Amino acid sequence: MMQSGAPLCNICGEQLLLSENGERFVACHDCNYPICKACFEHEINEGHSVCLNCGTPYEGRTKDGDDDDDGNNDSDVIEVHENPSTVASQINNSEDVGGLHARHVSAVSKVDSEEVTEESGNSTWKKRMKSWKGKGKDKKNKNKKAVPKAESEAAVPSEQQMEEVRSTEAAALPLSVVVPIVKSKLAPYRTVIIVRLIILGLFFHYRVTNPVESAFPLWLTSIICEIWFAFSWVLDQFPKWSPVNRHTFIENLSARFEREGESSGLASVDFFVSTVDPLKEPPLITANTVLSILAVDYPVDKVSCYVSDDGAAMLTFESLVETAEFARKWVPFCKKFSIEPRAPEFYFSQKIDYLKDKVQPSFVKERRAMKREYEEYKVRVNAMVSKAQKTPEEGWTMQDGTPWPGNNSRDHPGMIQVFLGHTGARDIEGNELPRLVYVSREKRPGYQHHKKAGAENALVRVSAVLTNAPFILNLDCDHYVNNSKAVREAMCFLMDPEVGRDVCYVQFPQRFDGIDRSDRYANRNTVFFDVNMRGLDGIQGPMYVGTGCVFNRQALYGYSPPSMANLSISSCCCFPSKSTKDVSRVSRDAKRAELEAAIYNLREIDNYNEDERSMLISQMSFEKTFGLSTVFIESALMENGGGAPETADPAMLIKEAIHVISCGYEEKTEWGKEIGWIYGSVTEDILTGFKMQCRGWRSIYCMPLRPAFKGSAPINLSDRLHQVLRWALGSVEIFLSRHCPLWYAIGGGRLKWLQRLAYINTIVYPFTSLPLVAYCTLPAICLLTGKFIIPTLSNLASVLFLGLFLSIIVTSVLELRWSGVCIEDLWRNEQFWVIGGSSAHLFAVFQGFLKMLAGVDTNFTVTAKAAEDTEFGELYLIKWTTLLIPPTTLIIINMVGVVAGFSDALNGGYESWGPLFGKVFFAFWVIFHLYPFLKGLMGRQNRTPTIVILWSVLLASVFSIIWVKIDPFVNKVDSETIAETCVAIDC
């Protein structure tokens, strides 16, 4: 029996098995370095009698299996060649499942089991184990024939033995390590969090027990806002409780899976690039992303790039044709000189000494020639963009005169075109290039296409039919590969037999180009990517943020991680299960139970004969789960991936690929519900990662020294606010759906409670806009009415307020200390929290309730990906949007309040200046946080929308006039009281 908690062999990656007496095999009794019997047998037979970990000789065991302690020949301890172990049988079973099934089901996609297993590094190691056992068996036979030991050892040269020792030791080295934050930095941070919680408790006790009777509504409003802010801080802070760093060893990955003279054992990767509108997402930017993928430092036969054109634009297709041609020159140039980054636009625009570390004499000449080639390529692409600005009345036509099938972007057939690849064009040096595939899924009126999430799911199915790589890396069209070794960084986790078993995805941080140094609108999101995500990595893993993520394909299919026990569900009604498994949990989600039932049957399919398998694969459980494609279901059986064999008919494969991207394929299936990218929110990324981690998967956060990917951020305020609006709207949609982290899978026990807190924080943060807007309005109200939300402070109250402010400052300082984030980034993040909260988040709350409760859908705007004039030409460009009105109004009313407050103090005498200090402090707190917004709004007056200023001034003036007229917080005194206190002229 395979034990879920058993350690893994550090050579072959398999779990250590128990012997008949229930004891686990131990090779080295000094360090207990985990090695299975088969690998230990190989080490002994090869003459390696010392532990790979500590170097201690193996005591009591010799090549012949003699035990030196008792003098008896204990051959049962290590000799297992005559009777293969359970590990070997399980390896054979796992290798044969996909291959056996595929050979008997479809002639289109039958796959040889050997070809399937070659796609995974683990399978390569399994084959090596089998060869090791074969060597051991041969040596045992030689020993039985009385061949002298010295002669057998002399047959292997000492140099070769040393080389084998070095290669074995290199293969046993770790692929990655976890580097916890040092205690000297983390312990004070945790202590201050606890102290701040205690201070908050005392603070709220004082605030609640000391109401302000003269301004009770103001006091009550402030108390409610402050309690919500404290709750929001707790949600945000505790997922940072145990942040970690990770370090990868790419050289160890090569030593383990890329032996000299052998084919690469690295796993294949399918790249997904998504684009919609080529006029808003320039084709040149998409082309640079594609070129950086094709030139990545990875075996070319292991890389496939799929470009999803969800707008069915002929411009995107034609630019991809030009890109494929230019790639024939660009890719060999990149690999010959090892340049970084491998996106030509960003490489040639670098302001660095490109001659540094380039010693090849031909580099300067070839670089100049390549730059000239790229400029000519840009001219051709830009000419196509100019031509596409005006669509002909009859629509676009292709070179052969036939109409472009995608002239109607909402009603067109599915289109697939394969460029380059193993059988396509080679580069100018005659070498193979990665496969490049253009995909535009079918669109028909009356069907729900689910925007980006639907496009990604279509790519999942197409890639499964054509290449079926075990791992998927998705990128936005404006995020290029900045580090050519990024894929290898991810494989250090995903192909690690110890770490990668339960990893659903490896998330890289987002880094951006084209942002000014001050980062006025916090476009870099440094605090989120360098603080929050590292904190989550120490729990169950970071959230999926939509791009720069390498997925385990099996996790996208809805599988549970290997270490998790299966559900107690029956198999297909036609064929009762021939084996039963122990059950450790019961699902409370009916949809998830149906999915697990189908997957359970997939895993048990090797228990049936040929006829039973053919019938079982067509049963309703599979069709309802994965759709009506036998070829795709076959690919789902292959745990280690594996594409179609070379003998497969390409025309039939393309036909099947067209079928799986038809607009009706997902109807009555689990796509978008439990499989693939999850529907139901415009922020499908958060929802998709959340569902995976609810099944028990964990994720990894990888932060290489050189950023893996870089993208283009919206640099003007209007586009930035629309981007934040879309994110916040998606969070509200999740909050109002069945996937709300407050209750979804609450009894499953698979999501850690700190991780659930983090997900709750991602869906409730837009609601902070309501108390935030109210709290930002309170200072102006206090200044206009002369009232205040805090009573006269006592000594104890002064200490509490001082302690609260100090704890806030110290928490921030210690957070900066362990995260490495600079104070300017923290301040910009704080400023934009107020700007976005008082505008985009506020609108998202109302739009979310309108959409979910009243059915009023709101479309989001695709943000611009490049500036139009100077380097930061759009930074101060303010476009008209209603999102600008609330923060502008807040600034104006607080400025009016400050003026009114100082006027009252001047008229009231010396005693009025003391109470004024607290009111003005809060008013300036609001103004300072909205200062970047104000500076951007006034940066170029000739471009500032006048209507924004007019509306804001009008609202602020009306509010001030009405407030002074009504004055609701001033205690009303009846006329009799006035008459009694009236004295002569003082009346």
Please give the positions annotated as active site: 310, 685
972 has binding-site annotation: no
Give the closest residue to 836 by CA, choosing from 731, 947, 737: 731
Asked if 241 and 190 touch (Cβ cutoff 8 Å), the reply is yes
Residue 828 to residue 524: CA distance in whole angstroms: 10
Residue 353 to residue 369: CA distance in whole angstroms: 18
Residue 294: both structure tokens together: 């094709």
Coil, helix or strand at residue 941: helix
96 has binding-site annotation: no
Residue 270: both structure tokens together: 């399918």
Coil, helix or strand at residue 50: strand
Contacts of residue 213, defined as CB under 8 A and 6 or more positions apart, other chains included, come to: none
Asked if 514 and 311 touch (Cβ cutoff 8 Å), the reply is no
Do the strands 698-701 and 503-507 form a parallel or antiparallel pair, or are they unpaired?
parallel
What are the backbone angles phi and psi of residue 426, rounded to the nearest 5°?
A: -100, 170
Q: Which residue(s) pair with 440 in the sheet?
A: 415
The angle at the Cα of 496, spanning 492 to 498, to the nearest 5 degrees, equals 140
Asked if 958 and 896 touch (Cβ cutoff 8 Å), the reply is no
Q: Within a 10 A sphere around the Cβ of 223, how many other Cβ atoms?
A: 16
Contacts of residue 836, defined as CB under 8 A and 6 or more positions apart, other chains included, come to: 721, 724, 728
Contacts of residue 491, defined as CB under 8 A and 6 or more positions apart, other chains included, come to: 121, 175, 253, 266, 267, 471
Asked if 67 and 76 touch (Cβ cutoff 8 Å), the reply is no
Asked if 892 and 956 touch (Cβ cutoff 8 Å), the reply is yes
Residue 615 to residue 617: CA distance in whole angstroms: 6
C-alpha dihedral, 333 to 337 to 340 to 344, nearest 10°: -20
281 has binding-site annotation: yes
Residue 73 to residue 382: CA distance in whole angstroms: 79
452 has binding-site annotation: yes
456 has binding-site annotation: no
Give the closest residue to 676 by CA, choosing from 591, 559, 762: 559
Q: What share of the chain is helix, strand, coil (3-state, %, to 5)?
A: 50, 10, 40
Residue 841 to residue 835: CA distance in whole angstroms: 9
Residue 346 to residue 339: CA distance in whole angstroms: 11
Residue 801: both structure tokens together: 């307020």
Q: Within a 10 A sphere around the Cβ of 170, how many other Cβ atoms?
A: 14
Residue 393: both structure tokens together: 């009345």
Q: Which residue(s) pair with 417 in the sheet?
A: 438
DSSP conformational letter for 679: P
DSSP conformational letter for 671: B
DSSP conformational letter for 66: B
DSSP letters spanning 443-478:
B-TT----HHHHHHHHHHHHHHHHT--SEEEEEETT
476 has binding-site annotation: yes
Task: Give, in order, the Cα–Cα distances in Å from 805 to each of 196, 753, 801, 810, 886.
Answer: 10, 29, 6, 9, 28
Give the residue numbers of the binding site for UDP-alpha-D-glucose.
274, 280-281, 310, 451
Give the residue numbers of the binding site.
274, 280-281, 310, 451-452, 476
Give the residue numbers of the binding site for Mn(2+).
452, 476
